[in-house]
């Protein structure tokens, strides 16, 4: 005996990303802004007059990746219960990637899922975390190991928040924008070479282009099987760098910048990218003050750390390599010695 359970396709989970000064946002009956103390101090005065909700609560979580954990999540969930948040309420993630990931995950599991919107305040979270639906927390086994795919109802990207962003953090966001251009869009890369992103019209345009590119990839591969891996260009190397430096020395985007330069060297070795193209990318990164080198103290040990990454499911590591500028190749046809050669080039910076 057998019963086939046919499920209604999930209703419309598509949404808009608005890249502009925030005007009125209608939040319905009950809403909770989730933020950190720093963003609250800097920007709640700007945001609050622009939100409409009958009841509005504010919960602050401690700032930083170290606090993207179960304890903060439980603290947040407890506050939601305290305030009798119901299934029709809305959470507002107001901050960078850490706030976005935790608020999104809380929204995903609170009473089996409620709405949330994102108001990302860092450039990195504006271009990266606003598309893809990834939410989650870290634990002692690693980063983002507990989580869910949960889509926001809307994302509001207001360049105003970038005015208070430290230069290094701004540049770290630019690294992700450059990454998108190198992997997917030659024309965008050319545009980036000639348009500095400290200009507001330019940054809006660059965010829009990055978000569109990421959206196109995610639409093809929502739950991460194939093409979405292309977004990991630079990340395979970056994760090891972050690991070796205890996530302290570099911002994520900075590690990705170095990781891109490393991946490029490998791509040059494989004949996928020309020396000139590699140089162009490195120069664009450097022009924003991004690091492009990291002294690999032990190439062997660096290499072995690839295998600790949760994304490595088989014994073969997959590398995302640029194929010229604007295209990419995902390949596991890379010899250990080729990678070690590249890593050894980084022994001195």
Rounded to a whole number of angstroms, the minimum distance from the CB of residue 220 to a copy of itself is 7
Retrieve residue 187's tokens. Answer: 């024309």
Rounded to a whole number of angstroms, the minimum distance from the CB of residue 144 to a copy of itself is 8
Residue 21 has a CB neighbour count (10 Å cut-off) of: 11
- Which residues make beta-bridge pairs with 30? 55
Rounded to a whole number of angstroms, the minimum distance from the CB of residue 86 to a copy of itself is 5
- Which residues make beta-bridge pairs with 32? 57, 91
83 binds a copy of itself (CB under 8 A): no
User: Alpha carbon 210 to chain centroid distance?
Assistant: 11
SS3 category, 156? strand
Q: Are 96 and 124 contacting, i.e. CB atoms less than 8 angstroms apart?
A: yes
219 binds a copy of itself (CB under 8 A): yes
Nearer to a copy of itself, 92 or 157 (CB): 157
DSSP 9: P
DSSP letters, 79-97, are: HHHHTT--TT-EEEEEESH
Rounded to a whole number of angstroms, the minimum distance from the CB of residue 182 to a copy of itself is 20
Identify the residue whose tokens are 């330069």: 261
- One residue of 37, 111, 249, 279 binding a copy of itself per CB under 8 A: 111
Q: Are 106 and 76 contacting, i.e. CB atoms less than 8 angstroms apart?
A: yes
- One residue of 208, 228, 269, 323 binding a copy of itself per CB under 8 A: 208
51 binds a copy of itself (CB under 8 A): no
Residue 121 has a CB neighbour count (10 Å cut-off) of: 28
Candidates 183-191, 204-212, 282-290, 332-340 — which segment interacts with a copy of itself by CB under 8 A? 204-212
**Segment 136 to 155, residues that bind a copy of itself, using CB under 8 A:** 136, 139, 141, 144-149, 151
Nearer to a copy of itself, 24 or 337 (CB): 24
Nearest to 317 by CA among 303, 302, 299: 303
Give the contact letters, 280-319, x = binds to a copy of itself (CB under 8 A), - = no.
------------------------------x--x------
HSE-CB for 343 with a 13 A CA cutoff: 22
> Which residues belong to the active site?
112, 134, 176, 214, 224, 228, 232, 235, 239, 252
Rounded to a whole number of angstroms, the minimum distance from the CB of residue 135 to a copy of itself is 8
35 binds a copy of itself (CB under 8 A): no
Nearest to 35 by CA among 83, 72, 87, 71: 72
- Binding-residue total with a copy of itself (CB under 8 A): 59
Retrieve residue 150's tokens. Answer: 């949960």
- Chain positions contacting a copy of itself, by CB under 8 A: 1-11, 13-20, 70, 74, 77, 81, 86-88, 105, 108-113, 131, 133-136, 139, 141, 144-149, 151, 204, 208, 211-212, 215, 218-220, 222-223, 310, 313
């Amino acid at each position: 005996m057998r019963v086939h359970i046919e499920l209604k396709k999930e209703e419309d989970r598509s949404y808009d990303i608005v890249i502009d000064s925030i005007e009125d946002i209608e939040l319905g009956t009950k809403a909770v802004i989730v933020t950190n103390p720093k963003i609250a101090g800097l920007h709640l005065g700007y945001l609050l007059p622009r939100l409409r909700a009958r009841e509005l609560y504010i919960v602050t979580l401690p700032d930083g990746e170290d606090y993207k954990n179960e304890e903060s999540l439980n603290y947040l969930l407890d506050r939601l219960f305290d305030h009798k948040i119901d299934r029709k309420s809305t959470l507002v993630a107001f901050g960078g990637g850490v706030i976005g990931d935790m608020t999104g995950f809380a929204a995903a599991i609170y009473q089996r899922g409620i709405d949330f919107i994102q108001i990302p305040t860092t450039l990195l979270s504006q271009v990266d975390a606003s598309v893809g639906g990834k939410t989650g927390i870290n634990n002692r086994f690693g980063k983002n190991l507990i989580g869910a795919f949960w889509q926001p109802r809307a994302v509001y990207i207001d360049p105003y928040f970038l005015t208070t962003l430290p230069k290094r953090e701004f540049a770290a966001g630019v690294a992700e924008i450059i990454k998108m251009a190198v992997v997917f869009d030659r024309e965008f890369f050319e545009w980036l070479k000639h348009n500095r992103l400290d200009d507001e019209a330019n940054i809006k345009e660059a965010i829009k282009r990055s978000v569109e590119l990421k959206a196109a990839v995610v639409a093809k591969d929502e739950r991460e099987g194939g093409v979405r891996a292309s977004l990991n260009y630079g990340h395979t190397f970056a994760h090891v760098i972050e690991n070796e430096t205890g996530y302290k020395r570099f911002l994520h985007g900075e590690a990705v910048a170095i990781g891109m330069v490393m991946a490029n060297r490998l791509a040059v070795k494989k004949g996928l990218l020309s020396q000139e193209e590699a140089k162009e990318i490195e120069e664009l990164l450097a022009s924003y003050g991004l690091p492009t080198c990291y002294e690999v103290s032990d190439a062997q040990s660096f290499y072995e750390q690839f295998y600790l990454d949760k994304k490595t499911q088989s014994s073969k590591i997959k590398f995302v390599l640029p194929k010229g500028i604007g295209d990419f190749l995902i390949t596991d046809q890379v010899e250990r010695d080729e990678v070690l050669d590249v890593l050894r080039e980084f022994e001195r910076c």
